[in-house]
Structure 1
Amino acid sequence: METTEHQQPASSPPPGADRLITVPGVRNLRDAGGFGTADGGRIRLGLLYRSASLCELSPDGAGRLAGLGLRTVVDLRSAEELVHWPNQRHGLDFELVSLPTLPPLEGSSANPETAADVSEQHRQQGDPQDDGLAGMYSYMAETAGPPIVACIRRLTAPGALPALVHCAVGKDRTGVTIAVILSALGVDDADISADFALSNAGLGLLNGPVHYIDEHGVERPSRPVRAELLTMFLRRVHARHGTTAGFLHYHGLRREELARLRDLLVEEA
């Protein structure tokens, strides 16, 4: 993703900014672990990471990324994005799994930043803050269940961890995927929202949008995430399925598979 304009970071880092991991060529990288769960457990550190894509990974960055011991990298981007911005390895040995979060939309791709401009049917009527992303989060609540279930199945496969989940910049598709996983494991909504919002610091979006060139050669704004986007996504999931676990079961995840995820990722606090 080629950036054409950079915003200056805020003078004071937001809470949790120390969780961001510096690796040359990998933006918005952090551990998804460390959060407490409703049953008194804690999400294990060092097993599940989230980030932007590895398309700009440098050889030096690969050396540092090797320290995470990644066995699996789950790429949530569209086929078009993979062609334009392929992940770089520089000798790293991991299984790369492609699981697009969204189906392509007519006249666009499954990149939420690009697709937001053509998703008028999902735009939130009467919402003065709706920049298209609100409609896309509503759309993801309807369509992202199967790929999230597929992602969980890859994470629970023998030898799959540690794993990295990423999309283009690690904020929208990655944001809802990690949010569903953490919620299903009993992490509090406030912690999930704080982790979601940390992408603004990880991407230099604290002062507003940053422009980039998309896979069609069009300049577009990369918009900051807003807590209400994730709240709306989860509210829609809960309204239809009761819980995020119910959402996953509806889309085919078996109870023993969720139990396996819990065994792998949750430890006693």
Structure 2
Amino acid sequence: MRFWRRRKPSTGSLTGPLEGLVNFRDLGGLPADGGTVRTGVLFRSDSLAYATPADADRLVRDLGLSTVIDLRGEYEVSQLGRGLLSDTAVEYYPAPIADVSGAEDLVGHYVAMLTEKGPVLAGTVRLLSCAGTLPAVFHCEAGCDRTGVLAAVVLGLLGVPEDAIAADYAATAAAMPTIHERVAVVVDRLGLPPRPVEVPAWEPEAALMAKMLDVVRERWGDMEGWALSYGLTQDELAALRQHLILAS
């Protein structure tokens, strides 16, 4: 495994699916303010603890991955591990956003992340505004809820249209059968009470993310208003856009 420590030339892309990661995707190519989101520099994923040796090699060799942003809580990380990427030269940045107040529904849960974990989320945006951080991947356990919130924050700050942000969130639905199977295994492994079986099993829908973005607009005006309220500066937002938007 030591060969992963020496970075090989990056192609910035992957050919074919990964073996252990079922919800990994490039955020590049989406329409943004003044251009499109750059490809090969920012990725979202399910937990990298599921990466196989071949996956880890490809992430380092083909993508030239520089930074992993882990949105899981400390308990999850301690019990489920960081996976094979922890044995590489890739920088690791913990940004736990899991523990928030209870909410009546998922939209309320997502908004609680934005409010109660605003400083943590703002810190990840600040990190991504630094060129040396990229290429980067951020993830939680399933790559859906916490990852979806951070994706919405970053894409919103890049000027990606709300319908495209919601569609990206909903793209996780294709991975949900495997994710539901994993959840059952993880619950058993951690000795947690079994989760009730939903029929049909829950899947992310664009309408959920659209509702969260409606709340953002009502409370902060837009995602930039949210970012400024949590201490990000216009210079940092400009740097984020410079690094992540390919001008048309």
Q: Give the TM-score band, short-chain normalised.
A: 0.7 to 0.9
TM-superposed CA distance for 1:21, in Å, is: 6.0
Instruction: Return 233-242 or 88-97, whichever deviates more.
Output: 88-97
Determine the structure 1 residue equivalent to 2:222: 243
Matches within 5 A, 1:256-267: 256-267=235-246
Opposite residue 177 of structure 2, the aligned amino acid is G
2:48 maps to 54
In structure 2, the partner of 1:94 is 90
TM-fit CA distance, 1:257: 0.2
Q: C-alpha distance in 2, partners of 1:63/1:35?
A: 27
CA contact (8 A) 1:138 1:232 kept: no
Task: Please point out which of 63, 78, 90 is paired with 2:57.
Answer: 63
Question: Which structure has more helix as a fraction of its residues?
Answer: 2
Moved more, 211-220 or 77-86: 211-220
Quick one: distance in 2 between partners of 1:264 and 1:78?
A: 28
Correspondence list, 1:99-114, <5 A? 99-103=95-99
Match of 1:171 in 2: 144
The one-letter code of the counterpart of 1:203 is M
Separation of aligned partners in 2, 1:199 and 1:100: 21
Residue aligned with 1:102, SS: coil
The residue number in structure 2 matching 1:144 is 117
Alignment CA distance shift 1:160-1:32 (3 Å): same
Which amino acid in 1 is paired with 2:247?
A: E
Runs (5+) with no aligned partner, structure 2: 1-13
Q: Is the 8 A contact 2:220 2:226 kept in 1?
A: yes
- 1:219, 1:22 → 2: CA distance? 31
Q: Write out per-residue CA displacement over residues 75-100 of structure 1, whole angstroms, 9 at most, x where no aligned residue.
A: 00111110111111254320111001
Which of 153, 161, 174 is residue 188 of structure 1 equivalent to?
Answer: 161
Contact 2:67 2:133 in 1 (8 A): yes
1:105-126 CA-partner distances (Å, limit 9, x unpaired): 6xxxxxxxxxxxxx3xx21xxx
1:164 is paired with a residue whose SS is strand
Instruction: Provide, for residues 131-156 of structure 1, a one-character-per-residue CA deviation record: whole Å limited to 9, x for no partner.
Output: x4243124224323222211111112
Q: 1:217 is paired with a residue of what secondary structure?
A: coil
CA separation of 1:223 and 1:81: change in aligned 2, threshold 3 A: farther
- For residue 68 of structure 1, give the secondary structure of its aligned residue in structure 2: coil
Decide which of 154, 170, 174 is 1:201's aligned counterpart: 174
Select which of 193, 205, 209 maps to 1:218: 193
Aligned position for 1:73: 68
Q: State how far apart, in whole Å, the 1-side matches of 2:94 and 2:69 are.
A: 6
2:214 is the counterpart of 1:228:
no
Return the offset for 1:20: 10
Contact 2:37/2:245 (8 A) holds in 1: yes
Cα deviation 1:174-219 (Å, max 9, x = unaligned): 10111111111111111111111001113337xx965523345333
Moved more, 89-98 or 155-164: 89-98
Q: Which amino acid aligns with 1:71?
A: S
Task: Work out the CA distance in 2 between the residues paired with 1:195 and 1:231.
Answer: 11
Q: What is the CA–CA distance in structure 1 between the aligned matches of 2:107 and 2:242, rounded to whole Å?
A: 34
CA contact under 8 A between 1:25 and 1:61: conserved in structure 2? yes
1-structure distance, mates of 2:24, 2:95: 19
Moved more, 186-195 or 256-265: 186-195
CA RMSD of aligned residues (A): 2.3
Identity %: 34
Indicate if the aligned counterparts of 1:137 and 1:232 stay in contact, CA closer than 8 A.
no
Structure 1: state its 5+ residue gaps. 1-18, 106-118, 124-131
- Alignment-derived partner of residue 111 in structure 1: none
Q: Distance in 1 between matches of 2:240 and 2:56?
A: 28
Please identify, of 85-94 and 167-176, the stretch whose mean Cα deviation from structure 2 is larger. 85-94
